[in-house]
Structure formats: structure tokens, C-alpha cells
Amino acid sequence: VPSDARKPFDIREVIARIVDGSRFDEFKARFGTTLVTGFAKIYGMPIGIIANNGILFSESAQKGAHFIELCTQRNIPLLFLQNITGFMVGRQYENEGIAKNGAKLVMAVATANVPKPTLVIGGSFGAGNYGMCG
């Protein structure tokens, strides 16, 4: 993580240093690219990882909600890595369903009955904080 909070970094580098053997099986890698989701092991235990790689868009929120529901059904704990400024706003993004899909993400987080530790790497602001298990 760079010392200058304004410099972007790839969250996959952080994930590689946290998980066993740097092995991370990414879920929907080409969809909703500002949210990185996938399966890994930490100390041999399976875990689902949700990490934002920038601001959240509608498709990112939808992907996150789907992944949380999947992990909850399989009883896999979730690790959230946050560096979030919020959800994207504006008429175009509202037409694309950011409010609806953002609400789905927040609801999925709120109803998931698996352990959900959160690691804040940088900042955590706005409604994005709630979507990222804040």
C-alpha cells in the first residue's frame, strides 16, 4: 500500500500477501471490475474475499451481492478489504441501477450469517462503507 493515499494500487497485490501461497481464485474477474471477489485460504481455512478496487458501480454492487449470497449458502466466512469512497453517483449511473444494486449489496451484507471481519486499508466513506461491511 503506497504511503500517499492519493496513489492508486491494485488490491490483488494486497490479497496475494494475505492468503496462503498467494493463491486466489477470482470470481467473475471481468464483470464489475472495481470489486474484486474470490475464494482463498488463510491458515488452511477457506474464506471468501471481497475487496474494492476503486469506487463501486452498479455491476460491482450486483457482483458483490451475488458473491456474498454464494458464500453464505456455503457457510464460508467473508473477509472485506476496504478502501472505499462510496458508490458512483449521477443520472447515468442511477439509470443503470446503482441505487437498486447498491441496496442489494447492503442487504446481502446485513443478512449474511457468516463471520465478516473487515480490514480498512485507507479510507471508508459514505454509503460504500455499509456495502463493504462497515
Which three-class secondary structure state does DSSP give residue 66? helix
Residue 3 covered by a domain: no
Which three-class secondary structure state does DSSP give residue 100? helix
Name 122's Cβ contacts closer than 8 Å, sequence gap at least 6.
Answer: 1, 5, 82, 83
Residue 6 covered by a domain: no
Angle, vertex CA 125, rays to CA 120 and CA 130, nearest 5:
80
Residue 5 covered by a domain: no
Question: Which pLDDT tens digits describe the chain residue by residue (134 residues)?
Answer: 666 666 667 889 999 999 999 999 999 999 988 899 999 999 999 999 999 887 888 899 999 999 999 999 999 999 999 887 766 667 777 777 778 888 899 999 999 999 999 998 877 767 666 677 75
How many domains does the chain fold into? 1
Owning domain of residue 95 = 11-131
Q: What is the pTM of this model?
A: 0.86
Name 120's Cβ contacts closer than 8 Å, sequence gap at least 6.
Answer: 82, 83
Residue 45 covered by a domain: yes
The enclosing domain of 73 has a CATH number of 3.90.226.10
Beta sheet of 118-124, edge-to-edge order: 25-27, 35-42, 45-52, 78-84, 118-124
